[in-house]
Amino acid sequence: MNGGNELEKKVKIAVMVSGGGTNLQAILDAEKSGILRSGKVSLVLSNKASAYALERAKNAQVETAVILRKDYASQREYEDAMIDLFTQKGIDLIVLAGFMNILSSHFTDTYPKRIINVHPSLIPAFCGEGFYGLRVHRAALDYGVKVTGATVHFVNEIPDGGEIIAQKAVEILPGDTPEILQRRVMEQAEWILLPQALETVSKSYC
């Protein structure tokens, strides 16, 4: 009986994905290991039907959904479809984990301080519109910085512009390529920082 009550108290989390879902996997693993205790991944939503992240969710017995931008006449209608789904499912927190679609203020204002994102740099460096994936790491290497990392932040209508929740630094090493650096930032920062930050935010809403 107590276990059921504890489960009911958990913050319901939706994770929005577009690709392979490595950050989603880090969250699911953190839930299994007990790092994420105050929240539960209740839904994984993708804007791509072929996203491997959906398979990761299914393997973890997490409900999935696909909402495609092309099925809607406008960005607002597309976002309303997502908002309607999250309302229907009772979602409390949203995580953007490699979701490759800019959300408007209509969406972000609906969930003030309830959407979090992980970005593969130390914001305010190498962030904002156009900085995603390998582009971020290539820019860091081209600029010659010695330290990079990852940032978890709240999401507002400005790309990578919301309040910072947590950051973790990662050293850049001689011989790094964008691909090598991307992997190190994921392993040493993103996959550690995101679940920890998600637990902190979830706990504050319990």
Catalytic residues: 119
Task: Specify the amino acid at residue 147.
Answer: V
CB contact set of 154 (below 8 Å; sequence gap of 6+):
113, 115, 116, 117, 162, 163, 165
DSSP string of 137-187? Answer: HHHHHHHT-SEEEEEEEE--SSTT-SPEEEEEEEE--TT--HHHHHHHHII
Sign (positive or negative) of CA dihedral 124, 98, 182, 135? negative
Measured CA to CA, the distance from residue 27 to residue 97 in angstroms comes to 10
Measured CA to CA, the distance from residue 18 to residue 171 in angstroms comes to 28
Task: Specify the amino acid at residue 115.
Answer: I
Strand order from edge to edge, sheet including 39-46: 63-66, 39-46, 11-17, 93-96, 115-119, 147-154, 164-171
Token duo for residue 142: 């081209």
Measured CA to CA, the distance from residue 67 to residue 78 in angstroms comes to 8
